[in-house]
Structure 1
Amino acid sequence: MGVPNASRRSVLLGLVLTGTVGGLIRPAEASAAAPPVKSPPIIGCGAWRARPPSTPVPVWDRRPVRIIVHHTATANVTDLSRGAAEFVARKIQEFHMDRRRWIDTGQNFTISRGGYVLEGRHRSLEVLRTGSRHVEGAHCTGQNVEAVGIENEGTYSSNAPPDQLWDRLRDMCAYICHQYGIPPTEIGGHRDFKDTLCPGDRFYGMLPQLRTEVADLLGEPLSDRAARRASWPLLRTDSSGPEVQAAQHLLRAAGLTVQPHGRFDERTTAAVRDYQRIHRTEEINGLIGGETWPLLVTARGTDRQEVALAVRALTPAGAVRASAIPGEEEWKRMLNAGRRS
């Protein structure tokens, strides 16, 4: 979701629950290129007794270009009924409107652990069916006009989502991609854009599978490489490896005091927090994710020698020179190539 991790924990406490594009569909030819894709059953705001928004929701006269997958970071409940799904939707809306002071639920759609799909923000279902406009959400700062946000009930750091949820998410993503001409490669996770654990390590690791299954439903098979597109690695306490060493050199290039030994220790966490404060990122949490990485790799006026050392940490053979790096995508490729499982 597009709220800080601390706020996610507040949602959990409040609920108190127990128990990129080549060869793919382009918008202008989506209907002709893809087989018919039906909408899964979707419970509208009126059906789950949503409160009206405090002000009219913004509707943009253009298509979104991606889908962002979230998890609610709430309990992995065993009640899979429609009643439980509607209860979760109401509690999320209550939190977003009363605590966050948003005009309505932040995400466009919610999928329960029982596989029920619910409209989140008002008018999201109506507008999706037109295939040409988009309801602005509040699920990921900087992406709310660009992306459809889907919230998935539960916490998926170590557990996989249940089959019912997964199947509905796949069907919902296929329908959204079909309606808007979004390539399946543009299905991402919250952490791709923010410094957050969302949608959980296990769920995030399943996104290549999701892209593949959605592409199959659309009749546009993906290669394994396309399904596993390059992304910003999420670094946190106890992470280690060449990508950590590269991040430490980039922090040093920005004037922070940290040793480039490749271990994400307490000093590194403190340096990242300092960097986030300086740049006023949405989260001051010491994680390096989809918001802090782009700042680090595109900073100007930094120590170029440290930047060169960051490159060398990721490309020991010196295949890429710091002065030759064109931008974020090259950094992503180097960071992905440098990962060690």
Structure 2
Amino acid sequence: MDGAGRAWSRRGVLLGSLVAGAALTGLPAGPGRALASTGAPGRAPVPPPGPPVAPGPPAVPGPVGDGLAHAEGVPAPYIARCFEWGARPPSSPPQIHDVRPIRILVHHTAGPNGTDYGVPAAHALARGIQRYHMDHNGWLDSGQHFTISRGGHVMEGRLWSLGELNRGRRVVEGAHSPGQNVIAIGIENEGTYTGATPTPMLWHSLRATCAYICDKYGIAPTELYGHRDFRDTLCPGDRLYAALPRLRREVASLMGRRVSRTEVVRSGWPALRGGDRGPAVEAAQYLLRDSGFYRGRPDGRYDARTGAAVTALQRAHRAGRPVCGACGADAGTGVLGGLSWPLLARPVRLGSAGVRGGRGAEGSGVPGGPGVPGDDVVRAVGVLAAARNTESVPDVVDGPAWQRLLSGPGTPVPGGGDPAGVANR
């Protein structure tokens, strides 16, 4: 075993002693201390001369970092470079954009919640993800920028991501989420977190890695999102997604910043799937019927007919592409998430149409024109307003207003995406 391997082994022993006795199925209580190592053997590899460089997207606002006073002492977690975990060379050089990302996207691999927390298992995970992304998806390299194992080991994903992060001025184009591959850093977390929570080791390393990325790129600690916020996917799992407000708060604490509850809680677009029930499903059915994809009386049950309508909507807009992390299988298969909701919940001016609480009479079901709500759009707003006991709804129901009606109070998930021409591979 070489020197790097011995260093990893010592870290594994230390990590195990620090978390001995902790419950591995629950998130650690309190902010605590990040367990990621602050040392790294050697220097990060420098990209060879002449990698392709693309200008940053002109329509996307820059991160807050230009005027942000960084807290000193945000530790750099140990991140294993591509050659350390045995990465294959990319099929073509990754593209580097002359812009800093403005947010972080959290993913899960949707794979097994294994109990091998050692370094060899972590490196095998990284190789498996790269193999799937290159051989199955046809991408040039791993799609995500960074990977974290259930043992808390952090690894560079796509080549050159670590070197550009350490410099803090440019970003490597990823392939972890179309529309977010330049303006967002993608972090893949080993496991499935629909019904389980991350291990304490993974959680500590995730927040330490996010804090370091935020510090280097000047990203606000509140700009941490789940994959589902922008795509039709259940990623990063219900339990990990529900923990994002806590992650934002703890990352801010590591950076020496205070954030309010309003800042850490997002309203967002709910990820609906088969078996769900409630006002959000009923509102979606009304909107799907207004768009011509659903027939029958909305009943608030996400059944096979509703799933088929969602899938038809996604196919019509070419939105249902499998893009999620290591598995690439849980996006666009009838899940109504952050990509398709804006297609349904279009900005409308209610005007004199008013809002009818609850289902009310079916009426004519006449669709509206551009910017003019049809009967079903008004009913969708009424169902959501009644469910939240909202006495008044703004005359113009735009994206943020829809998100608050669907998910409650909080900061809306922003729009914006990558510039045209990003390869997404």
Q: TM-score range by the shorter chain?
A: 0.7 to 0.9
Structure 2 partner of 1:19: none
Alignment: residue pair count: 311
Q: Whole-Å Cα distance in 1 between the matches of residues 149 and 117 of structure 2? A: 8
Identity %: 50
Q: Whole-Å Cα distance in 2 between the matches of residues 210 and 231 of structure 1? A: 16
Give the superposed CA RMSD: 1.6
Structure 2 counterpart of 1:324, one-letter code: V
Residues 240-319 of structure 1: pairs in structure 2 closer than 5 A: 240-256=277-293, 257-283=295-321, 284-298=332-346, 301=370, 304-316=374-386, 317=390, 319=392
Structure 1 counterpart of 2:405, one-letter code: M
Residues 1-341 of structure 1: pairs in structure 2 closer than 5 A: 26-30=64-68, 32-256=69-293, 257-283=295-321, 284-298=332-346, 301=370, 304-316=374-386, 317=390, 319-320=392-393, 323-325=395-397, 327-337=398-408
Answer yes or no: is the 8 Å Cα contact 2:65–2:220 preserved in 1: no
Structure 2 partner of 1:4: none
Answer yes or no: is the 8 Å Cα contact 2:320–2:333 preserved in 1: no
Query: Residue 82 of structure 1: CA displacement?
Result: 0.6
Q: Whole-Å Cα distance in 2 between the matches of residues 259 and 206 of structure 1? A: 35
Question: Where do 5+ consecutive residues of structure 1 fail to align?
Answer: 1-24
Answer yes or no: is the 8 Å Cα contact 2:311–2:320 preserved in 1: no
Moved over 4 A (4+): none
Query: Residue 318 of structure 1: CA displacement?
Result: 5.3
Name which one, 1 or 2, has greater alpha-carbon Rg: 2
Query: Residue 258 of structure 1: CA displacement?
Result: 4.0
After superposition, the C-alpha distances for 1:199-220 in whole angstroms (9 at most, x for unaligned) are 1111111111101100111121
Q: Whole-Å Cα distance in 1 between the matches of residues 73 and 267 of structure 2? A: 30
| TM superposition score normalised by structure 2 | 0.71
- SS of 2:155's equivalent in the other structure is strand
More helix by share: 1
Identify if the C-alpha distance between structure 1 residues 190 and 171 changes in structure 2 by more than 3 Å, giving closer, same or farther: same
- SS of 1:298's equivalent in the other structure is coil
Q: Whole-Å Cα distance in 1 between the matches of residues 258 and 297 of structure 2? A: 45
Q: Whole-Å Cα distance in 2 between the matches of residues 53 and 78 of structure 1? A: 30
Query: Residue 221 of structure 1: CA displacement?
Result: 1.5
Answer yes or no: is the 8 Å Cα contact 1:68–1:148 preserved in 2: yes
Q: Whole-Å Cα distance in 2 between the matches of residues 282 and 71 of structure 1? A: 19
Structure 1 counterpart of 2:223, one-letter code: E
Query: Residue 303 of structure 1: CA displacement?
Result: 5.5
Q: Whole-Å Cα distance in 1 between the matches of residues 74 and 380 of structure 2? A: 45
Answer yes or no: is the 8 Å Cα contact 2:147–2:187 preserved in 1: yes
Query: Residue 137 of structure 1: CA displacement?
Result: 0.3
Identify if the C-alpha distance between structure 1 residues 68 and 212 changes in structure 2 by more than 3 Å, giving closer, same or farther: same
